[in-house]
Amino acid sequence: MVTMADLVAVPGLGLRLVHEAGGPALRWVATSELADPTPYLEGGELLLTTGLGTRGWSDEWAPYVDRLASAGAAALGMGVGLTHDRLPDRLVEACRARGLTLLEVPRATPFVAVSRAAAELLQDQEAAATRLALDLQRRLTQAALGLDLRPLLERLAQLLDGTVALVHRDGEPEEGPFGAHPDRLDLALVRTEVAGIRGQGLGAVSSTVASTVHGRVATVVRPIGLAGRPEHYLAVAAPSSLGDPLRAAISTAAVLLSLAVERRAERRAAERRLRGRALELLVAGDLRSADVLLAVAEGAPLVPERLRVLRVTAPDEVRDDVLERLEDDGLLAGRVAGELTAAVPPGQVAAVVATLAQHAEAGLRAGIGRLVPAADAGRSAETAGHALDRTTAATPVRRWEDVADAGPLALIPAGLGQEYAASLLGPLDPDLRTTLAAFLRHHGSRGAVADDLGIHRNTVRNRLAEVERLLGVDLDDPAARVGAWLALELANS
């Protein structure tokens, strides 16, 4: 940024800084003798004038200065020695009151010399900004050479003299915050900003400036990624006076982070495919091949000596979140035949159940198989499937023991059981069903059935014969009795 002090310091110009008020940075130099030159200003100009049309002005100076300040002029430069031998007192007073920087240009200094000096300063500034931007880009690129994101985030925080973090799409930090003053990053604000732009894709950017105990702080939140839904966001808190090179550095860091996150995601996807294949081998009974596959995978967990197989169905987003949690907990987990599957050591079952319960309302269903040696993982997977089949909205997570303790009927899925009962018992009227149930209840004693139902033994005999005819079975056959008992129990469940 070129300031009026920079211009005054140029040797040979002889400029005098009468009043410095800050204001806009210098963008260009304009010359005008108009009483109202503001229609020709864009903002950020040093306006040079000899005051040719201002001879005799008194009360006119205040509105003149007000117009310049309102138009965004950076400063007013008044040439002395022509219209005015010195700066008018009313002009000086108006500039002080309105907050407009005022320069005195000596008679010997051509306005074109001031314009040339300002142009050179602006050109030098642009060149310096370009060099700085390239240097920052080089430093950030060097820091981003590996898959570890920390060096890049730390370097960006250092360059900005700010605080930097990589946050998840829920707004919680995944890496950081980094920087000398981590408390400058308002995480509550970051969560709010992430929630506000999350649905806008990769092109969204949030930037807010607020006064804090650390001064004026700019908070910038940018999505990270190359395609699809952003999973991560770059959050930056830095002094609000960031120039173009530093803002470019934030953009460069976002691009480099996107590449690094993409590489990391690709690597993680490959590792997940490998773990999924190892789980397939494990539940298929090929423990040796599963162990070999995991041994060549960097950082992959080993197969537990004793385990329970977990099988989960859920909407894609929920399933991915649970998979990430299980991986973070060091479990062997992956996708097998469309289900999320994991090998859970006995000591971690309770923690896994707690994790699953957090997602139950989002449509998750999970079955946990029996505890077995690793070589028998297939049996645990099968029992986990039975437990999964018996889950409901009220009981979204079931263990095999929950099903087994409920008896053999609990092993039959409700829909299948009802279908079986309807097809077997469909030909029987209520009297025949009542007689069949009593017959099974009294272990085939026709006399006990007659006494129980208060009917003649011949009626019992005739009804049972009709049952056998309609069902095509022999009720003295134990298998037929078991099938009839199951149908009656399932029909009443």
Which burial class, exposed, middle or buried, applies to 39 when counting CB atoms under 10 A from its CB (0-12, 13-18, 19+)? Answer: exposed
Torsion, Cα 92 96 99 104, to 10 degrees, reads: 30
Cα three-residue angle 126-128-131, rounded to 5 degrees: 110
Q: Which residue has the tokens 């051509």?
A: 110
CA atoms of 8 and 20, how far apart (whole Å): 11
pLDDT tier for residue 413 given thresholds of 50, 70 and 90: low
Q: Which residue has the tokens 């399933």?
A: 319
Selected residue with higher pLDDT from 206 and 65: 65
pLDDT of residue 106: 94
The pTM of this model reads 0.48
| Residue 241 pLDDT > 70 | no
Q: What is the mean pLDDT of residues 106-131?
A: 80
| Residue 135 pLDDT > 80 | no
Q: What is the mean pLDDT of residues 107-121?
A: 89
pLDDT of residue 213: 64
pLDDT tier for residue 147 given thresholds of 50, 70 and 90: low
* 200 C-beta neighbours (distance < 10 Å), count: 12
Tokens (6 digits) for 337: 């035949």
pLDDT of residue 379: 93
| Residue 9 pLDDT > 60 | yes
* Residue 290 amino acid letter: A
CB 357 within 8 A of CB 351: no
CA atoms of 410 and 386, how far apart (whole Å): 9
pLDDT of residue 139: 55
Q: Which residue has the tokens 């770059």?
A: 234
CA atoms of 302 and 215, how far apart (whole Å): 51
pLDDT tens string 294-349 = 887 767 788 899 999 999 999 888 888 898 889 888 899 988 888 999 999 999 99
pLDDT of residue 105: 93
| Residue 468 pLDDT > 80 | yes
Sequence-ordered list of residues with C-beta below 8 angstroms from that of 364, at least 6 positions apart, any chain: 312, 313, 314, 318, 319, 322, 356, 396, 397
Q: What is the mean pLDDT of residues 235-260?
A: 76
Q: What value does the mean pLDDT of the chain take?
A: 84
* 79 C-beta neighbours (distance < 10 Å), count: 23
Terminal CA-CA length for the chain: 81
| Residue 159 pLDDT > 80 | no
pLDDT of residue 62: 95
Tokens (6 digits) for 375: 């070589």
CB 207 within 8 A of CB 219: yes
- 3-state secondary structure (DSSP) of residue 399: strand
DSSP 468-485: HHHHT--TTSHHHHHHHH
In the chain, pLDDT over 70 holds for what percent of residues?
Answer: 89
Length of the chain: 493
| Residue 134 pLDDT > 60 | no
pLDDT of residue 57: 93
pLDDT of residue 183: 81
Q: What is the mean pLDDT of residues 182-193?
A: 85
Nearest CA to 137 among 214, 286, 249?
249
- 3-state secondary structure (DSSP) of residue 459: helix
CA atoms of 126 and 175, how far apart (whole Å): 34
Q: What is the mean pLDDT of residues 359-378?
A: 91
Tokens (6 digits) for 54: 């201002």
List the beta bridge partners of residue 309: 343
| Residue 126 pLDDT > 70 | no
Residues 170, 176, 179, 180, CA torsion sign: positive
Omega of the bond leading into 177 within 30 degrees of 0 (cis): yes
* 478 C-beta neighbours (distance < 10 Å), count: 9
pLDDT tier for residue 365 given thresholds of 50, 70 and 90: very high
CB 103 within 8 A of CB 8: yes
Strands 28-31 and 45-49, by their bridges, are: parallel
Please report how many Cα atoms fall inside a 13 Å half-sphere around the Cα of residue 121, on the Cβ side.
Answer: 22
| Residue 67 pLDDT > 60 | yes
Structural domains of the chain ordered from first start: 4-118 (3.40.1390.20), 144-264 (3.30.450.30), 301-404 (3.30.70.270), 414-492 (1.10.10.2840)
Count of helix runs (H) and strand runs (E) in the chain: 17, 16
CA atoms of 297 and 310, how far apart (whole Å): 22
User: 200 vs 218, 228, 231, 262, 350, CA distance in Å?
Assistant: 21, 11, 13, 19, 38
Strands 339-344 and 332-336, by their bridges, are: antiparallel
Q: What is the mean pLDDT of residues 160-181?
A: 83
CB 184 within 8 A of CB 237: yes
pLDDT tens string 249-275 = 777 777 877 777 777 777 778 888 888
Cα three-residue angle 282-287-293, rounded to 5 degrees: 85
pLDDT of residue 96: 93
pLDDT of residue 206: 81
Tokens (6 digits) for 288: 């040796």
Q: DSSP E strands: which ranges in 74-224?
A: 75-79, 101-105, 163-168, 173-178, 206-212, 215-224
